[in-house]
Copies of this chain bind each other. A is one copy, B any other.
């Protein structure tokens, strides 16, 4: 089987591949995992030997289908545990990441199947991220960033890009959460900051930096 550490590398490579939609660089991985480039190189060689990644010296990595399967399983575990922590143990959405980082590595397919059933087969985690099914299939909702919203057209908050507690706490205070309706009221051309109405309430102002981290329905 794969170690805790190997699983974390695979998960991070998967996420980076989604963003950059191509080969992932050694430094990008080192950055995300808080480790050094040299360590990443060592691990990539190991993962390559195990046929979990395609690795070409100096060129970067991509996941093999085997590697992608493992990554999706870990991501599924993570998101299901997040649902558990929020729905059953009453944690807030900005508190669950660290715990889920540990829970995701618990090694039991059957347990996760039952957890999924117990939670009522949720399709999205508390941050709006889609939960892959047990085959690794992920239901991709078409989405775009709030920073690209068209004025006065109704849309829905789907999720977030930044998952940090600070960000989540901030937007929650503004009333922005997955599932809520959203409408663009005004764009300040100068700095691209915007004013939006959530669920028909009084408009609030947010910077472009914030708008770039919120996903809405396309």
Contact = CB atoms under 8 A, between A and B. Distances in A.
A19 interface: no
Interface in A85-127: 85, 88-91, 98-99, 102-103, 105-108, 111, 114-115, 118
Contact of A88 (B90, B91, B118): B118
B103 A106 contact: yes
A87 to B, nearest CB: 11
> Size band of the A side of the interface?
10 to 19
Interface of A is mostly: helix
A101 to B, nearest CB: 10
Contact of A99 (B98, B99, B105, B106): B106
B99 A114 contact: no
A89 B102 contact: no
Nearest to A106: B102
Contacts of A106: 99, 102-103
A91 to B, nearest CB: 7
A89 B88 CA distance: 13
Nearest to A115: B89
Nearest to A85: B111
A98 B107 CA distance: 9
A89 B113 CA distance: 9
A158 B146 CA distance: 59
Nearest 3 A/B pairs, CB to CB: A89-B114, A102-B106, A99-B108
Interface of A: 85, 88-91, 98-99, 102-103, 105-108, 111, 114-115, 118
19 contacts: A85-B111, A88-B118, A89-B111, A89-B114, A89-B115, A89-B118, A90-B114, A91-B111, A91-B114, A98-B108, A99-B106, A99-B108, A99-B111, A102-B105, A102-B106, A102-B107, A102-B108, A103-B103, A103-B106
